[in-house]
A and B are shown apart, each in its own frame.
Chain A
Amino acid sequence: MDFVNKRIWFFSLSLILIAIGIIFLIISPGLKPGIDFTGGSTLSIKFINDTTQEEIRSELSQIGHPNSVIQMMEKNTYFIRTKQLSDKTDVISEKNNLLNPEKVDVLSFDTVSAVIALETIRNAFIAIIAAAIGIFLYIWWAFRNVPSPFRYGVAAIIALLHDTIIVIGLFAMLGKLFGVEVNTMFLIALLTVIGYSVNDTIVIFDRIRENISTYPNYTLSEIANLSVAESFGRSLNTSFTIIFAILALLLFGGPTIKNFLWVLLAGVAVGTYSSMAIATNVLVTWETKKFR
């Protein structure tokens, strides 16, 4: 396994993935924002009788919600997104034919005002920056005994941004293909991915830190290659176990946190890859000033 000398391939692959993600983000409307980011209301409704999407759409139009989004979650269970409501009874009323309290169970009702939605976007941005800075400072400090500890922090942050952009791009794509919306849970998932990505990167950097003192005559390229090879088994096994857990939740868990889990799954895969292929190679490229 020669990770370091093939770095131009890894960089190219990542650039392509990032480019695809960015293209999907740029094509309007980019990520499909949920009510947490725009304000509005959503309902998950289970109909007691068989009901089609078209029937719901026409009734929603009649009661003054023509631009609602309707998605099927399970048979006869639908996710409906409307403009901001003051209560679920604005839509579910005795007067209606289908959307009648006698004929449906409202599994969940969420409403978010535009005020709080704007704040969420701002806070999410700040949270990601704050997490990145905190982690960067910690790595810088934790690697203070190796040459150029600053670079380890930067490399970890580059890997972290790499993972974030790819996962966001993936969700822009899913939004276009399947109407997947991003919400607060998406942000948590993203932050978890950041945590995992850095976690994984640090394990490899720790190996490099140790090997630098064990083999003082080796070049950084050799040490990096050795460290990645030595950590390879651990990285894969850890990813596997976490992926097992996520898959179990995806298959057997409720539909409520599905999107969250997809982000985690993508994030763990990308995070494992980036620690070995990107973070380490950024260090080597910086040291050698060569991309190949």
Chain B
Amino acid sequence: MRRFYKRIALIFTLLIIAISSLTLNEIKIGQFERGGNGVLGLELGLDLQGGSHLVYQAIDSETGEPVTPRQEQMDSLKQSIERRVNASGLGEPIIQLLGDNRLLIQLPGIRDTKRAKALIGETAQLTYKERTLNVARKIPGIEQDTLLNVSVINLNETITDVTTNQSTISNTSSSPMPVNLQPIPGLLLEFSDDGSDAFSNLLKRLENSLTPIEGTSDRYPSYLTIQSDNSTEMPLQIPYHLLLMNPTTLEWITSNTAPLINKGDAKNSFIVNVSPQYASKDSDSIMKSFTSEYGGPPNTIQLGEIIGRVDQAIPGGLTGEDMERAFAGQHQSTNMPIINIVFNDTGARKFGEITTKLANTPDLLVIELDGQELIASRVISPITNGAAYIEGSDFTIQRVQDLALLLESGRLPIPINLIQERTVDAILGSDSLQRSLVAGFIGLALILLFMIIYYRMSGVIAAISLIIYSVLLLGIFKLLPVTLTLSGIAAAILSIGMAVDANILIFERMKEELRYGRTVPTAINIGFSRAWTAIRDSNISTLITCGVLFWFADTLGASIVKGFAITLALGVLISMFSAITITKTILQIIGMSMLGKNPMLFTPFSTKSMNQTNNKE
């Protein structure tokens, strides 16, 4: 027995290490930390716990074709994305470089893949602009000679006329309009052809100004202004959505319900409804005072335009390059979510200049990403130290986090393109895990049952050795660690098959030796040495296949393939150890005991067939 002590000690030590590592959910020894969220604390792959597997390719910013950037660019790309994903609260990502121009991002347990992809893939250009509000100017193309005539009209009279006309034509039964309506003052503007075009263009500008800026709900309406030389009041400011009627088409230009008017011959005429501006005045005096103020010859009124917003590039050009970093935070006193921005030296200087200019004005500082507005903010005071923060009434914690990340993204060193995505839902993942574990146990049980029935005592030993093998395999998975994936489980089960094969090879050889009439201990020794070459060569060929698979997976970023290859290779190596050391030791111990006196226990054949074989010899 003494010669087995070393081997028994080795087997028990390994077994104790494996079992204790599996029973402890978390292991911490200095720098060495192991333990996951899965069964037995094993690390689970995305296909078993749910999550997204994204592969990005570096591309040329102009053509979109794949390119191979410099190593430093790829490293900094990886860092930028790591920072972004970590800061976004998207869980614990695993980000690694694949080959020389790809990036693999694994996001365990993620649900909102769209948001993740938007954050990761954004490579747009960050620009700063200054936005001046309500800029007054003359309407281009409208001069004294293009505005031919201005007259004051009562819109209610005009409308009533039309309604009467219409009802006679169509002879409908609609109720007659009430008489003696309160007068609504309007201006009839008559232009030359050029003036009419210029005014139509203005109308378009006014209409467009009502659309909110893309991606926001902010509007900056522009106005038509009318100033009379006779009036002491402020110019009339008339926004598009109320006020304009085109007598040519006989339609209200705006979306207001459109009563018709009978002015079809005046091709270049426009009617401006100015009534809201006079709503406070008493109705009888409205027309009178309005006519006295605005009813003069054209040269007594000035048409103008107030432009809602004018965006201009910042002199000297402040861009994403000038920024050092952006991060979400909370205001020290109000606890409101804010975005912190830190500029580098040149950025701080430019930012200082622009904030000095904008401070205490209604004008805004705008930050755009690829022409899309991210933030428009007023400047409270000049910021010259290069560290600013932005607050907003609509800011939530997630919004400021995303905005901070998008600000950072202006600095992604190379544009990237998503070329592969594999997303598995957590429900499917845990279902797969459960089913695979059940299948694994049943498969293992079937194999052990077969071995025991067919090889009897040897089969029992093989069963013990295979159970030890399974524990060691799981222990190594945890300690290395190997991430358990679906394909990895398949490989593990296949490797159990290989481990069984080693046992079968040995037992078949032993069986032959027993048939030649050798004693059990001798048969064990000869059986092992005969079987060894086959076990060695067949397993090495499997290892070669694993190596090829591993290389294949590495170039492809196919983590399922990689998991399979690693698991199978480990399984093969441990199966060799299990067959050579564990099975052999147990067999030898039992072979030397009382049980070893009975060869029958070790072979699947009856004494009769043994005798026949012996007779042949």
Contact = CB atoms under 8 A, between A and B. Distances in A.
Contacts of A199: 498, 501, 538-539, 541-542
Interface stretch (B228-236, B344-352, B557-565): B557-565
A264 B47 CA distance: 20
A64 interface: no
B66 A115 contact: yes
Given A88-B113, A188-B564, A200 B538 contact: yes
B140 to A, nearest CB: 42
Interface in A220-240: 230-231, 233-234, 237-238, 240
Most chain A beta-carbon contacts within 10 A, residue among B55, B423, B555:
B423
Nearest to A264: B494
A192 B57 contact: no
B498 A257 contact: no
B432 A135 contact: no
A245 B497 CA distance: 7
Interface in A152-183: none
B438 A113 contact: no
B557 to A, nearest CB: 8
A288 interface: no
A247 B540 CA distance: 26
Interface stretch (B177-185, B249-257, B301-309, B545-553): B545-553
A134 B497 contact: no
A241 B494 contact: no
Contacts of B493: 245-246, 248-249
Interface stretch (B74-82, B269-277, B444-452): B444-452
Given A119-B556, A127-B549, A195-B541, A113 B494 contact: no
B516 to A, nearest CB: 13
Contacts, number: 225
A116 interface: yes
A241 B451 contact: yes
Interface in A100-151: 105-113, 115-116, 119-120, 123-124, 126-127, 130-131, 134-135, 138-139, 142
Interface stretch (A3-11, A48-56, A202-210): A202-210
B217 interface: no
Interface string B107-139: 000000110010000000000000000000000
A123 B534 contact: no
Interface stretch (B158-166, B218-226, B414-422): B414-422
Interface residues of A, number: 72
Contact of B512 (A86, A202, A230): A230
Given A195-B546, A230-B512, A251 B425 contact: no
Contact of B420 (A107, A111, A191, A233): A111
Contacts of B418: 86, 111, 113
A203 B534 contact: yes
B427 A87 contact: no
A184 interface: yes
A116 B549 contact: no
Nearest to A195: B545
B505 A234 contact: yes
B249 to A, nearest CB: 35
Given A245-B443, A245-B446, A257-B487, A107 B538 contact: no
A231 B538 CA distance: 14
A185 interface: yes
Contacts of A260: 487, 490
A66 interface: no
B428 interface: yes
Contacts of A253: 432, 435-436, 438-439
B549 A242 contact: no
Contacts of B538: 198-200, 202-203, 206
B465 to A, nearest CB: 14
B105 to A, nearest CB: 14
A231 to B, nearest CB: 8
Contacts of B417: 113
B548 A109 contact: no
Contacts of B431: 254
A238 B428 contact: no
A85 to B, nearest CB: 9
A107 B423 CA distance: 8
Interface of A: 44, 86-89, 105-113, 115-116, 119-120, 123-124, 126-127, 130-131, 134-135, 138-139, 142, 184-185, 187-188, 191-192, 194-196, 198-200, 202-203, 205-207, 209-210, 230-231, 233-234, 237-238, 240-242, 244-249, 251-254, 256-257, 260-261, 264
27 contacts: A86-B117, A89-B114, A105-B425, A107-B428, A111-B420, A115-B66, A116-B57, A120-B556, A127-B549, A130-B548, A131-B548, A131-B549, A188-B560, A188-B564, A195-B568, A202-B534, A206-B533, A206-B534, A237-B504, A245-B443, A245-B494, A248-B442, A249-B436, A254-B486, A256-B47, A260-B487, A264-B490
Closest 8 pairs (CB-CB, A-B): A248-B443, A195-B545, A242-B497, A252-B439, A206-B534, A245-B443, A107-B428, A254-B432
Given A87-B114, A109-B422, 6 more contacts: A134-B544, A195-B545, A199-B538, A234-B505, A237-B508, A256-B428
Interface of B: 47, 55, 57, 66, 113-114, 117, 417-425, 427-428, 431-432, 435-436, 438-440, 442-444, 446-447, 450-451, 454, 486-487, 490-491, 493-494, 496-498, 500-501, 504-505, 508, 512, 530, 533-534, 537-542, 544-549, 551-552, 555-556, 558, 560-561, 564, 568
